[in-house]
Amino acid sequence: MQRTKSKRSKIGRRDGVVCALVALCVFVLAGCAASGEKKIRSEVTPLYSARAPEFRQAMGSLLGPGFIPGNKIVTLVNGDQIFPAMLGAIRGARKSINFETYVYRDGVIGRELAMALAERARAGVKVHAILDAQGAFKVGSSNLATLRDAGVEVSIYHSMFWLDPRRYNNRTHRKLLIIDGKTAFIGGVGIADLWTGHAQDPKHWRDNHYRVTGPVVAQMQAIFMENWLKTNGTLLHGNDYFPPLGSTGSSLAQAFKGSPRNGGIDVEEMYLLAIASAQKSLLIENAYFLPNEMMRKALVHAAQRGVNVEVIVPGKHIDQKLVRYASRRHYPELVSGGVKLYEYESTMVHVKLMIVDGIFASVGSANLDNRSIRLNDEANLDVLDSRFAAEQTRLFEADKRRSRPMTLDSKGKLLLGAPFNQAAGLVSPQL
Complete DSSP assignment for 29-57: HHHHHTTT-----SPPPP-S-TTSHHHHH
* Amino acid 414: pLDDT: 73
| Separation of first and last alpha carbons in the chain | 39
- 290 versus 165: the higher-pLDDT residue is 290
Active site includes 80? no
Each residue's pLDDT tens digit, 16-59? 444 444 444 444 444 444 444 567 888 899 999 999 999 999 99
Q: Which residue has the higher pLDDT, 35 or 71?
A: 71
The structural architecture, per CATH, of the domain 68-252 is 2-Layer Sandwich (3.30)
Does 350 participate in catalysis according to the annotation? yes
Cα 430 from chain centroid (whole Å): 16
pLDDT for 143 beyond 80: yes
Q: Is residue 254 within 8 Å of residue 63, measured between CB atoms?
A: yes
8 A C-beta contact, residue 291 and residue 329: no
What would the mean pLDDT of 295-320 be, rounded to a whole number? 97
Grouping H, G, I as helix, E, B as strand and the rest as coil, residue 202 is: coil
On average, the pLDDT of the chain sits at: 88
Marked catalytic residue, from 352, 369, 385, 399: 352
Angle at CA of residue 36, ends 33 and 37, nearest 5°: 75
Residue-level pLDDT at 428 = 44
Q: What homologous superfamily is domain 2-58+257-427 in, according to CATH?
A: Endonuclease Chain A (3.30.870.10)
Ranked by mean pLDDT, the top range of 61-65, 171-175, 396-400, 425-429 is 396-400
C-alpha closest to that of 370 among 282, 222, 265: 265
Q: 0.85 cut: is pTM over it?
A: yes
pLDDT band with cut points at 50, 70 and 90 for residue 262: low
Active-site annotation holder among 128, 158, 182, 350: 350
Residue 122 has pLDDT above 50, yes or no: yes
Residue of 262 and 227 predicted with greater confidence? 227
164 pLDDT band, cuts 50/70/90, is low
| 357 has catalytic annotation | yes
CA torsion angle 126 130 135 138 (round to 10): 40
Residue 343 C-beta-side C-alpha neighbours within 13 Å: 14
Percent with pLDDT over 70 in the chain: 84
Which residue, 157, 158, 159, 129, is CA-closest to 144? Answer: 129
- Which candidate in 357, 377, 382, 385 is catalytic? 357
The CA-CA-CA angle for residues 151, 155, 161, to 5°, reads 135
Q: What is the pLDDT of residue 16?
A: 45
Rounded Cα distance between 399 and 206, Å, is 9
Which residue is catalytic, options 126, 158, 173, 209? 173
* Stated length of the chain: 431
Instruction: Give the pLDDT score at 167.
Output: 67
301 is catalytic: no
Q: Give the model confidence (pLDDT) of 417-430 as tens digits.
A: 444 444 444 444 43
For 38, 133, 367, 431, the CA distances from 31, given in Å and listed in that order, are 13, 21, 19, 11
Q: What does the pLDDT read at residue 145?
A: 97
**Range(s) within the chain of domains with CATH label 3.30.870.10:** 2-58+257-427, 68-252
Longest dimension (CA), the chain: 77
Distances in Å between the alpha carbon of 395 and those of 343, 391, 398, 399?
A: 15, 7, 5, 6
